[in-house]
Chains A and B, each alone.
Chain A
Amino acid sequence: MSVWLVVGAVVYLAGLVLTFSGAELGGRVIGLAIVSVGAGLAVAFAPPTRSWPATITVALTLIPLVVVAAALRRRVDEVAGERGATLDDDAL
């Protein structure tokens, strides 16, 4: 098993902790980005023979998803600002 798979798993777990402990949506987006990097690293170095198509495909899916997560967070902030109220940010 590649050491990078272990590194990826550790990065993923760190991101997970940040995601669930984040008090605001912004912190959670950062956590999700770290989770995605960790998972991407793990799968990139997982196969016995490196698969560049798989690595690129995973990157091409994870990056837009993190961008969407950030965009949703921005939209939530905008709506909260329009209403003049603080969002109730329940635990994720």
Chain B
Amino acid sequence: MSAALALLVALPVVGAALTVVTRGPARVRLSLLVSAAILVAVVLLARSLLAVGVAHVLTLTSPIGVVVVLIADGLAVSFLLMSAVVGLAVVGFAWAEVRHEQDRHHRAYWPLLFTLWAGVNLLLLAGDLFTVYLMLELVALAGSLLVTLRGDRSSLLAGTRYFYAELVASTTMLIGIALVWSQAGTVVFSELGAGLEDAPLAGLGLAVMTVGLLLKAPLAPLHFWLPAAHTLSPSAVSPLLSGVMVKVSFAVLLRLWFLSVPDLVTMPAAQLIGAMGALAILWGSGGALLATGLKRLVASSTVAQVGLVFLLVPLVAAGSFDGWAGGVVLAVSHAFAKGAMLMAAAVLVDSARRAGAPAPGAGSVAGAVDGETHVGRGTKPATNVRGETTWPLLMELRGSAARRPVAMMAFGIAGISLVGLPPSGGFVAKWYLLVGSITTGQWWWVIVLVIGTLLTVGYLMRFVRPAFAPLPEDERPVPRRDARDLVALALATSTLVLGLVPGPLLRLLAIGGPHGGG
């Protein structure tokens, strides 16, 4: 198991180094190989963890006295699986983009991607607060630089805001770590509980760290940076942001609250987190219902889905393992579904733009091109006065299903999981959350789940309806697909696999879980 842990840290680092020195098709093939190897390493780790049945702890002490603790338990391995699957899909999608359009990606894309991945893996395995802090910084740096790679004004500003928000969150986390360290004399998760017993400022330290991590998660109302960053990032980056990066802070929070210092988590505090989750559902769904562009709709949906995931907090605080299972399975399922949805959205938007979507109507950000407004087929992509390409509006994606049926199918399957219909992973997750709500007597979360589900249907239909709208005979396109559509479909299908075979993941979550596991 230690070898698998070492591989999970070393492989992305090797990938980052090798993608700096290689070029062209060799670099892309190498990236695919390393990504597949990471997934294999995670699967091997999961299998050995299931065979042994107890968490594995690795303590590394450097000559200068710095101690790094790594924990491979059900929580860590579940999220590692999630990031490995999404990471492989993102690399596959990037490969498909390069096939579709040469020199599509900035040369820094691949090294930054693997640097991010290394940070994510080490963060999920971290067993001490110091390693958590360092890896959060690494992930924030790599992630925000990836957002800026398009190089235009909008993405640069979005990436800068994201980076500034992450830096504030990290330093807030650091203040919390300082408070906890001064009280407990340790930063190791497994020793915090005993160290903070009867400590006067333990609650304050935990609260400050929580604020920092919620800003990274991000849970409304601390989500101000997310919609722009996820909307304006390159199409081979946004699945990672929405799918993986928002979950790693969530995983750290779960480890801190329920596996490290569960006695410090009071029911009022847990209910407050749940209420913030409910607020996020309403806020994000509202943003999605009002969004004019597809990527913005999907990004706002992420705000809502993050809120849903946090509903596990009051359930687990009340002793429910069903809540634990439901929340984590929802996080994993959402990562697959949102990643697939963003890939499909990128394909559909690109396809609509190339097909010459009709000139935007009133209220669009697109301006005139060469002093005239072009209409009809064969139109150039819309640009604004600053020369930046603008996105087609939702209404301009009419007929997307006919144009790109495979990508639309991927979007649809992902949508099924977000709504929570069987046989998707979203259904399994919501089932467990509902059971947890009822068995702990917290029926009000049932109402929140139902409202959240209905709102999800509402905003997804804003795109699905025009996408399937019939086109006039003379405008019917020839259906197309390329490797990008297939990658999106494969990732979307993983939500169905999770829904049909949830057993291994549920057994994993019981290893090292709260309240002695399920």
Interface residues of A (CB under 8 A from B): 1-2, 5, 8-9, 12, 16, 19, 25, 28, 32, 35-36, 38-40, 42-43, 45-48, 51, 53-54, 57-58, 61-62, 65-66, 68-69, 72-73, 75-76, 79-80, 83, 85, 87-88, 90-92
CB-CB under 8 A for A65 and B179, given A25-B160, A54-B130: no
Partner of B185, one of A48, A58, A75, A91: A48
Is there a chain A Cβ closer than 8 Å to B153's Cβ? yes
CB distance from B119 to the nearest CB of A (A): 12
A83 to B164, CA, bound (A): 23
Is there a chain A Cβ closer than 8 Å to B124's Cβ? no
Partner of B179, one of A5, A51, A61: A5
Q: Are B387 and A83 in contact (CB under 8 A)?
A: yes
Residue in A closest to B144 when the chains form the complex, CB atoms? A72
Q: Which residues of A contact B268 (CB under 8 A)?
A: none
CB distance from B181 to the nearest CB of A (A): 4
Q: Are A68 and B141 in contact (CB under 8 A)?
A: yes
Q: Which residues of B contact A19 (CB under 8 A)?
A: 164, 168
Q: Are A2 and B182 in contact (CB under 8 A)?
A: yes
Q: Are A76 and B157 in contact (CB under 8 A)?
A: yes
Q: Which of B160, B165, B185 has the most CB of A within 10 A?
A: B160
CB distance from B165 to the nearest CB of A (A): 7
Q: Are B182 and A48 in contact (CB under 8 A)?
A: yes
Partner of A72, one of B160, B179, B385, B386: B160
Q: Which residues of B contact A61 (CB under 8 A)?
A: 134, 137
Partner of A46, one of B66, B157, B182: B182
Is there a chain A Cβ closer than 8 Å to B231's Cβ? no
Q: Are B134 and A5 in contact (CB under 8 A)?
A: no
A72 to B170, CA, bound (A): 18
Partner of B64, one of A53, A80, A83: A53
Partner of B134, one of A8, A57, A83: A57
A62 to B201, CA, bound (A): 25
A9 to B182, CA, bound (A): 13
Residue in B closest to A49 when the chains form the complex, CB atoms? B185
Residue in B closest to A85 when the chains form the complex, CB atoms? B386
CB distance from B86 to the nearest CB of A (A): 25
Residue in B closest to A16 when the chains form the complex, CB atoms? B168
Q: Which residues of A contact B175 (CB under 8 A)?
A: 8-9, 12, 38-39, 42-43
Contacting residues of chain B (191-206) with chain A, CB-CB under 8 angstroms: 201
Interface residues of B (CB under 8 A from A): 62, 64-66, 130, 133-134, 137, 141, 144, 148, 152-153, 156-157, 159-161, 163-165, 167-168, 170-172, 174-175, 177-179, 181-183, 185, 201, 224, 385-387
Q: Are A42 and B153 in contact (CB under 8 A)?
A: no
Q: Are A47 and B182 in contact (CB under 8 A)?
A: yes
Please name 8 further chain A to chain B contacts, defined as beta carbons within 8 Å, in addition to the given A35-B167, A85-B386, sorted by A numbering: A1-B182, A9-B178, A19-B168, A38-B171, A43-B174, A46-B179, A53-B62, A72-B144
Q: Are A47 and B174 in contact (CB under 8 A)?
A: no
Q: Are B181 and A28 in contact (CB under 8 A)?
A: no
A16 to B153, CA, bound (A): 26
Residue in B closest to A89 when the chains form the complex, CB atoms? B157
A56 to B120, CA, bound (A): 23
CB-CB under 8 A for A46 and B178, given A35-B167, A72-B160: yes
Q: Are A1 and B165 in contact (CB under 8 A)?
A: no
A92 to B62, CA, bound (A): 39
Q: Are A43 and B156 in contact (CB under 8 A)?
A: no
Pull 11 A–B residue pairs with CB atoms less than 8 Å apart, ordered by A. A5-B178, A9-B178, A39-B172, A42-B174, A43-B181, A54-B66, A57-B134, A72-B160, A80-B153, A87-B157, A92-B165
Q: Which residues of B contact A39 (CB under 8 A)?
A: 171-172, 174-175, 178
8 closest A-B pairs by beta carbon, nearest first, are A46-B178, A39-B171, A42-B178, A39-B174, A46-B181, A43-B178, A72-B160, A46-B182
Q: Are A92 and B153 in contact (CB under 8 A)?
A: no
Q: Are A87 and B163 in contact (CB under 8 A)?
A: no
A10 to B72, CA, bound (A): 37
Q: Are B159 and A72 in contact (CB under 8 A)?
A: yes
Residue in A closest to B161 when the chains form the complex, CB atoms? A92
Q: Which residues of B contact A38 (CB under 8 A)?
A: 171, 175
A46 to B184, CA, bound (A): 10
Partner of B65, one of A8, A48, A53: A53
Q: Are A36 and B171 in contact (CB under 8 A)?
A: yes
CB distance from B230 to the nearest CB of A (A): 16
Q: Which residues of B contact A88 (CB under 8 A)?
A: 157
Residue in A closest to B138 when the chains form the complex, CB atoms? A61
Q: Which residues of B contact A83 (CB under 8 A)?
A: 153, 386-387
Q: Which of B157, B165, B172, B185 has the most CB of A within 10 A?
A: B157
A61 to B181, CA, bound (A): 19
A13 to B174, CA, bound (A): 13
Residue in B closest to A42 when the chains form the complex, CB atoms? B178
Q: Which residues of B contact A91 (CB under 8 A)?
A: 224
Residue in B closest to A48 when the chains form the complex, CB atoms? B185
